[in-house]
Amino acid sequence: MSLVSIEDDESIFSFIYRLYLLNGVKKFDHLVNLKGFFIFPARVEFGTEYLFKKVNESQILQALEDSNRIINQGFDVNTFNHPFGLIEELKDFYHLSEKQDIVFGRLVSRERYSVVIKVCLDCIADSLKTNGFGYHKLEWLFEKKCHKHKKPLIIINEGTRMRTVKQLKLALAGKYGSDEDSNGQKIDHLFYTRNLASKKKAAELS
């Protein structure tokens, strides 16, 4: 199994998505809602917990914390403000709070929010060049513009979960708007993880 690590400025949604694409998981029910928005706070899909065992837990916590902090900037801070602390955030991520609620006979489900999926195609192109894969940046969860490229971010929303997930996949592979991947098959999985060969090449060129 490929080892995947979270980039410093990567959103938790992006990391889950890349990990799933790499491992052939095709379910995104807890990541993207039926209308094509990220579901916040992020959670894993049932039955995929084992994939995260190979990931440094402090990286997951950091990515959760960062994504929460960034998204909080767009709302009244009191709405979130980590009511449960980091351990509870991690339990929520793995759906463990829900199981606990059932054990204790409580039916407290946490409120979820829709977050618009936005990307900067230039940042993705840069990452494809230097890392060999594209990823979704943390700051795109909240910002409307890419600070690096001084351009408005592109909103990825195709109206449904399936179409949006597919368009996000194309965007991260540097093929946004392309329809050549009608079966979702052609895009090389190496686009979603660190490609050492291309990194070496980039280092040689610089």
Chain residues in the site for Zn ion (CB under 5 A): 120, 122-123, 146, 148-149
Q: To the nearest whole angstrom, how small is the minimum distance from the Cβ of residue 117 to Zn ion? A: 15
Comparison of 94 and 142: residue with beta carbon closer to Zn ion: 142
CB-nearer residue toward Zn ion: 137 or 169: 137
Least separation in angstroms between CB 4 and Zn ion: 22
Number of residues that make up the chain: 206
Q: Compare residues 57 and 122 and give the one whose CB is closer to Zn ion.
A: 122
User: Cα–Cα distance between 188 and 102 in angstroms, integer?
Assistant: 41
Between 33 and 127, whose beta carbon lies closer to Zn ion?
127
For the bound state, the minimum distance from the C-beta of residue 124 to Zn ion, rounded and expressed in Å, comes to 8
CB of 175 to Zn ion, least distance (A): 17
| Spatial separation of the C-alpha atoms in residues 97 and 54, rounded to whole Å | 22
